[in-house]
Amino acid sequence: MEKMWSGRFSASGTKLLDQFNASIMFDRKLYREDIEGSIAHATMLEKQSILTKEELTQIVNGLAQVKAEIESGEFEWKISDEDLHMAIEKRLTAIIGDAGKKLHTARSRNDQVAVDFRRFVLRKNFEIVDAIKLLMQEILVVASKHTETILPGMTHLQHAQPINFGFHLGAYLSMFVRDIERFESSYKRNNISPLGCAALAGTPHNIDRAKTAELLGFDSVSLNCLDTVSDRDFALEILFNISTMMMHISRLSEELVMWSSYEFAFIELSDEYSTGSSIMPQKKNPDVPELLRGKTGRVYGSLMGLLTVMKGLPLAYNKDTQEDKEGVFDAVETAEISLEILKEAIKTMQVKTHNMKNASKVGHLSATDLADYLVQKCNIPFREAHFITGRAVAKSEELKIDLSDIEFKYLQEIDARINEDVLKFLSIENSMNARISSGGTATVRTKEQLEYFTNYLKEK
Ligand code: ARG
């Protein structure tokens, strides 16, 4: 089987070489981008009188046939064709004859693959944003129902201050907004056409790069061809964007796993999104969030992999770059299924508000409120107030009660400046609702935050 580039060779490569060198097993995923890129290129060549009208028509019709063959499963993907670019061009030429041989005028596989892969990644930036929005919608539904559901807010995984569950989920919504913005900014920065850069230095043909850029939906043409054919920043960016998003998903997943335990019992995942054990009949395992946590590691691997591939490359295109695709394909698929299953798991989970509330009655969550009371009502410096409150906590421990249930007489023994009105400041509800500073957990503030997310999703 003769290779397209066989002119200067006297012996043909081995099967082993084909196997090692080929990307056709995975880059065939880019067939739509490749065919659209070729149609745009040919359309421009005709406009510039490099192809005739007749040739353009043949190319466009031929490519439509190739596309139909690929989509019906008829197309023969052969390792000996090396990559999808050559496989498609070869098949096109077999269908339409000589006009097919003119398609590659003023083009190289180097700008061709840069166009195909870049457009795939750009599209995925968009599609992932849409999937994040759907997840956010579901989180918002749950959050909106629970702006008065109190649970212990934690630092160091220790009970800290009471917050509401809507506020807790709002933290994740904030993360997902940042994720969306990252995907969108990558899209804007990278929506630049590589087509016409040819192998590395441009072409002597009278091409119109702005035309192909326009036909393919790019905002502009790239500035420097040498950079463009070897630039894979767009791929690294989507890997980083997915990695960061998965890190957020992983943190939420970790909480879902914890909350599903008997020790927390804050939520119960639905049967549809839980799994059993092959040996312990009683088990109901949170495999979904665990696997989401695990898959995050796999995505980081793809990011590290491509960063490493790129780090030592001289300009311009090097075959190393062919290693850019599989990690991105895998990360994108992982992101898509992760967003969808997390959305379903959240939509169908049960929130055990009673257990959340009970947990808030352990650990003296309103201790800071006592200190704040001493500052605000008794004009005691905060450091001193902190100490007095510590005494009150110690007393509660001794009495084996929560600080929110302490009797006034004990507080007055500790410091005579304390008034009876202190008790209402010590309730867990009051403590949560007292945090009315901007961005705070008070139900009114939480509702404002959730309204922001609702509007954000509406405007998008
Ligand atoms: N299959 C190659 C890749 O994925 C296409 C570009 C090949 N270019 C070349 N000059 N060998 O990167």
pLDDT tens column, 301-343: 999 999 999 999 999 999 999 999 999 999 999 999 999 999 9
- Which residues does the annotation mark as catalytic? 156, 277
- Interval between CA 122 and ligand 1 midpoint (Å): 20
Work out the percent of the chain whose per-residue pLDDT is above 70.
100
What does the pLDDT average to over 267-290?
Answer: 90
Mean pLDDT of 110-121: 98
H or E segment and range at residue 351: strand 350-351
User: Would you state the pLDDT for residue 88?
Assistant: 98
Question: Ligand 1, atom 11: nearest CA belongs to which residue?
Answer: 319
- Mutation choice for ligand 1 from 34, 109, 321, CB with most ligand atoms inside 8 A: 109
**SS in 3 state form for 384-437?**
HHHHHHHHHHHHHHHHCCCHHHCCHHHHHHHCCCCCCCHHHHHCHHHHHHHCCC
> Which residue spans within 231-275 are E strands per DSSP?
267-268
Look at residue 58 in the predicted model and tell me its pLDDT: 98
Provide the pLDDT for residue 281: 84
Pocket of ligand 1 (CB under 6 A): 23, 27, 83, 109-110, 113, 317, 319, 321-322
56 CA to centre of own chain: 40
Chain centre distance of CA 319: 28
**Which residue of 229, 319, 324, 326 sits with most ligand 1 atoms within 8 Å of its CB, as the best mutation to test the pocket?**
319
Confidence at 10, pLDDT banded by 50, 70, 90: confident
Q: Spell out the alpha helix ranges (H) of 73-108.
A: 84-96, 98-102
Mean pLDDT, rounded, for 420-440 = 96
Q: Which of 452, 387, 392, 395 is nearest to 425 (CA)?
A: 392
The alpha carbon of 319 and the centre of ligand 1 are apart by a number of angstroms equal to 6
| Cα(183)–Cα(244) distance, integer angstroms | 11
Q: Whose alpha carbon is nearest atom 3 of ligand 1?
A: 322
What is the DSSP code (8-state) at residue 365? T
Please tell me the residue having the least CA distance from ligand 1 atom 2: 322
> CA distances (Å), 446 to each of 92, 140, 146, 229, in order?
60, 11, 10, 48
3-state DSSP call for residue 83?
Answer: coil
CA of 98 to the centre of ligand 1 (A): 24
Closest ligand 1 atom, CA of 82? 1
Q: Is 163 exposed, middle or buried (0-12, 13-18, 19+ CB in 10 A)?
A: buried
Tens digit of each residue's pLDDT (9 = 90 or more) over 221-256: 999 999 999 999 999 999 999 999 999 999 999 999
Distance 323 CA to ligand 1 centre (A): 10
Grade residue 1 by pLDDT with cuts at 50, 70 and 90.
low
Strands 220-221 and 267-268: unpaired
Cα-to-centroid distance, 404 and ligand 1 (Å): 68
Q: How far is the CA of 29 from the centre of ligand 1 (A)?
A: 15
The SS3 of residue 192 is strand
If one counts every other C-beta atom within 10 angstroms of the C-beta of residue 296, the result is 22
Report the predicted TM-score, pTM, of the whole model to 2 decimal places: 0.95
Q: How far apart are CA 143 and CA 402, in angstroms?
A: 27
Contact 232, 310 (CB under 8 A): yes
Give the three-state DSSP class for 267. strand
Q: Which residues make Cβ contacts (< 8 Å) with residue 164, sequence separation at least 6?
A: 146, 147, 148, 149, 150, 151, 432, 441, 443, 446
Q: Among 20, 197, 322, which residue has the most ligand 1 atoms within 8 Å of its CB, making it the best to mutate?
A: 322
Q: What is the maximum span of the chain, computed from C-alpha positions, in angstroms?
A: 101
Nearest-atom number in ligand 1 for the CA of 325 is 4
Contact 225, 200 (CB under 8 A): yes
Determine the average pLDDT of the residues in 116-135: 98
Q: What does the pLDDT look like over 285-308, one tens digit per residue?
A: 999 999 999 999 999 999 999 999
pLDDT band at 121 (very low <50, low <70, confident <90, very high): very high
For 16-25, how does the pLDDT look when each residue is reduced to its tens digit (9 = 90+)? 999 999 999 9
The mean-pLDDT minimum among 64-73, 279-288, 358-367 falls in: 279-288
